[in-house]
Amino acid sequence: MQFTLSVLLVFIAVFLILLSTYSFKFRSLSHISKPFAALMFALSVYAAGYAAELQAPTLQDMVYWSTVQYFGISFIPSLWLILIAQYAGAPFSGRKRLFAALLAGSCVTLFGALSDPWLHLKYATVSTGMQHGIRVLLFTRGPLYFFHVGYTFCALAAGIVFLVHILMSTGQPFRKTLLLMTAGAAVPFIDFLVYLTDTRFSGIDTIPFSMFFSVLCSWYALFSENLFDAAPVARSIVFEMIPDAVVVTDSAGTVIDYNKAACALFPDITSGVNPIPYLQRSGGDCQSEFQTDIVSGGQARKFSCPLSSIPGVHGRNEPAGSIFLFKDETGMTRLLEKFQELATVDPLTGLYNRRYFMDKTRQVLQKMEAAGGVLSFIIADLDLFKQLNDTQGHLSGDKAIQDAAAAFTSAMHGQNTAARFGGEEFICLLPDTCAEEAFKTAEDIRIKISAIPYPADAQTARGTPLVPYLTASFGVASTDVICGEQTITSLIRKADEALYHSKSAGRNRTTIG
């Protein structure tokens, strides 16, 4: 029986050394790789030392190998909590202090073991005895032994509490991983309590075996989910609190992780469904980006999505997966659209404003200078508008301007550029349009405006209206000589003079300049 236990412990030690070496290969990819490898190494020292203790021929040799075990035993609680802290994503600013405190506790335990031959802080007395056919150490516990017991108990319990907390707040993809790790951690915790009560095994240390079971659970959970390969799981608070949706896929395009914002944006993602076709792509150029529209909350929203590749493990050229960050650009897009509208559109009429009209005209002239053609302007001004404002009020004046703008929009059919040029003044740009065609267009607009009645309140609010209908006077100017800004100035002046003649001739008419 004693030999069999020793062989099993040697097997466990060798397996843990190999697992520690393999885990350490991923140190550049994952924050949990180093503490996991260190924990495996500490457990291997524990198992190997206990195997040697069982085969030791004398009490002195047994005590020696018991002391060797503490080079691993002392650090198991610390490394266990460090692994969980890394996994849970403890804030970086507090990690160094946390890790230093944990390792200090381990050093106290190690000091007690190394100084025990002189200070007897770990074992007050030590002897040997036979239990179930196995020779074991029998000892009276000293003060540092109780310190180690309390420290180990608190570390195992805290690790389980952390795992349960993460389990309650994590996304579906890692539930299986966390359940396995939590179950694996519970077994040595229970075994530790049984060992301390000394009610079952009578001095035989079963903790290396329960720890080995826990390691198998953790190893299967971490490696089967590619956590060292595609998505190192620092399930940090930052990851969950990011307001943007984050989705992680492996090299096959399968969703393996996401945060709470992604759950809200893509409700079906909890069922393992790829939220949009883009996520079917594997790899991709690092820092590439695409835009997409996503229906969320019954509304179509605009998102930009920076895409980052996760580097493959050593020796593999293809990426191990991808990270998608969905940034909601709807508000910014609408704000930019509003700024664009304010920069180009007159808010009262919906026509272009004067500044944009002039910019648009310059663009048209640049094209016509090379291609040639005839260019015409139409300028219009509402008749007796000041008297309308003075007698009927500004609201009636605004309504008259809006109605006139609607007539321009209807007559132009969206093919030319119309703008509000001033208070009650309008202007139209007609490229490739001669004076006669521009005159017909102006007359069409004039007739539409003259058919617009004043608002009912304008006819009754302050006495008899000036006229029962709106009217406007028009001026038209054309040229086939295109020469930059001078052309604009010249045409506007000619159209303005023609408008003045229309006013002088009795209003509500069109004149060609």
Give the model's pLDDT for residue 100. Answer: 82
- The strand pair at 510-512 and 425-431 is best described as unpaired
Identify the band that residue 87 occupies on the pLDDT scale cut at 50, 70 and 90. Answer: low
Residue 51 and residue 11 in contact, taking contact as beta carbons nearer than 8 Å = no
CA distance 319 to 308: 10
More confident residue, 304 or 429: 429
Give the model's pLDDT for residue 378. Answer: 94
CA distance 61 to 435: 116
Identify the band that residue 439 occupies on the pLDDT scale cut at 50, 70 and 90. Answer: very high
Model confidence at 188: pLDDT above 60: yes
What DSSP character marks residue 275? S
Instruction: Read off the tokens for 71.
Output: 């080079």
pLDDT digits (tens, 9 = 90+) for 345-358: 888 988 989 888 88
Percentage of the chain lying above the pLDDT 70 cut: 77
Give the model's pLDDT for residue 215. Answer: 76
Q: How far is the CA of 371 from the CAs of 88, 164, 264, 438, 483, in angstroms? A: 68, 75, 55, 20, 12
Residue 79 and residue 109 in contact, taking contact as beta carbons nearer than 8 Å = no
Q: How far is the CA of 214 from the CAs of 20, 39, 76, 183, 197, in angstroms? A: 15, 12, 13, 8, 21
Instruction: Read off the tokens for 22.
Output: 């393999």
Q: How far is the CA of 294 from the CAs of 31, 228, 337, in angstroms? A: 34, 32, 19
If 0-12 CB within 10 Å is exposed, 13-18 middle and 19+ buried, where does residue 259 land?
buried
For residue 318, the tally of other CB atoms under 10 A from its CB is 10
Task: For residue 17, give the amino acid letter.
Answer: I
- Domain 242-335 fold is Beta-Lactamase (3.30.450)
127 bridge partner residues:
138
Collapsed DSSP state (helix, strand, coil) of residue 216: helix
- Please state the pTM of the whole predicted model: 0.46
**Residue of 285, 404, 288 lying closest to 346 (CA atoms):** 404
CA distance 241 to 235: 11
Residue 262 and residue 326 in contact, taking contact as beta carbons nearer than 8 Å = yes
Collapsed DSSP state (helix, strand, coil) of residue 327: strand
56 bridge partner residues:
none
Domain boundaries, the chain: 2-224, 242-335, 345-512
CA atoms within 13 A on the CB side of 229: 19
Mean pLDDT of 111-128: 81
Architecture per CATH, 345-512: 2-Layer Sandwich (3.30)
Give the model's pLDDT for residue 92. Answer: 43
Mean pLDDT of 37-48: 88
**Residue of 252, 262, 260 lying closest to 231 (CA atoms):** 252
Mean pLDDT (the chain) is: 77
Model confidence at 216: pLDDT above 80: no
Residue 15 and residue 209 in contact, taking contact as beta carbons nearer than 8 Å = no
More confident residue, 378 or 116: 378
| Residue with token string 């020469």 | 483
Instruction: Read off the tokens for 334.
Output: 């609408």
Could you give phi then psi for residue 231, rounded to 5 degrees? Answer: -145, 85
**Residue of 193, 216, 218, 215 lying closest to 206 (CA atoms):** 193
With a CB cutoff of 8 Å and minimum separation 6, the contacts of 451 are: 469
Mean pLDDT of 374-386: 90
Identify the band that residue 229 occupies on the pLDDT scale cut at 50, 70 and 90. Answer: very low
pLDDT digits (tens, 9 = 90+) for 456-481: 554 444 444 455 678 999 999 998 87
Model confidence at 171: pLDDT above 60: no
More confident residue, 496 or 158: 496
Choice among 107-121, 147-161, 177-191, 215-229 with the minimum mean pLDDT: 215-229
Percentage of the chain lying above the pLDDT 90 cut: 12
Residue 49 and residue 65 in contact, taking contact as beta carbons nearer than 8 Å = yes
Superfamily of domain 2-224: Rhodopsin 7-helix transmembrane proteins (1.20.1070.10)
**Residue of 182, 159, 164 lying closest to 86 (CA atoms):** 159
CA distance 233 to 489: 68
Choice among 263-267, 419-423, 502-506 with the minimum mean pLDDT: 263-267
Instruction: Read off the tokens for 411.
Output: 């007559």
CA distance 287 to 9: 49
Rg (CA), the chain: 42
Residue 145 and residue 111 in contact, taking contact as beta carbons nearer than 8 Å = no
